[in-house]
Copies of this chain bind each other. A is one copy, B any other.
Amino acid sequence: MATLSSLQSRIDQIDGFLVESVKDVCSTMLSWTATEAPGGLTDPAAFQLGAVSGCIGFAGGMTGSIFLSCSDALAEAMARTILGGGGVPHPQDVSDVVAELTNMLAGGCKSRLCDQECPVVMSIPNIIRGQAIRAFSRDITFMLKREFSLSISGGEKLQVIILGKFD
């Protein structure tokens, strides 16, 4: 029971870090307010990715991955907001912006984990683009999945998934 409740409290903590980090990154980089939908912990299982996703691996006190995932339309809106200009941004610029946001999000979680004596290192962002993509991770003890509404028109949602296991 002690182990289970300690795992639960670490998962609650990382859920809080995820929500804080998403809000921080949206506010700092996009001047958008992000509001989390109820949810969080879910059973580890295959999950659907949006058309544009960033992914970064963690190792150390927590080994796993974080995904930031959204539609093409939302990824383009983020690129326009950060890079300026109108129209449809170049796909490479869109990938760069999603990579940078994923990097900041992972960095936010990393520094919060390190502050709480769960030191982790992170890899670099990979961007995955396509339709109807499914992702899956094996041997994980937790999976947190959060959807965020954003203070822009269009009602597009940002999806963030963090999954892994503790050392």
Contacts and interface: CB of A to CB of B under 8 A. Distances in A.
A92 B58 CA distance: 24
Main secondary structure of the interface of A (DSSP, over half): strand
Interface in A92-144: 92, 95-96, 99-100, 121-140
A131 B130 contact: yes
Interface residues of A, number: 38
A122 B132 CA distance: 27
Contact of A140 (B64, B95, B124): B124
Contacts of A79: none
Contacts of A134: 128-130
Interface in A16-72: 46, 49, 55-60, 63-65
Interface of A: 46, 49, 55-60, 63-65, 92, 95-96, 99-100, 121-140, 164-165
Given A55-B126, A60-B121, A130-B132, 15 more contacts: A46-B92, A49-B128, A55-B55, A57-B58, A57-B124, A57-B126, A59-B121, A64-B123, A64-B124, A95-B138, A99-B138, A125-B138, A126-B136, A129-B133, A130-B133
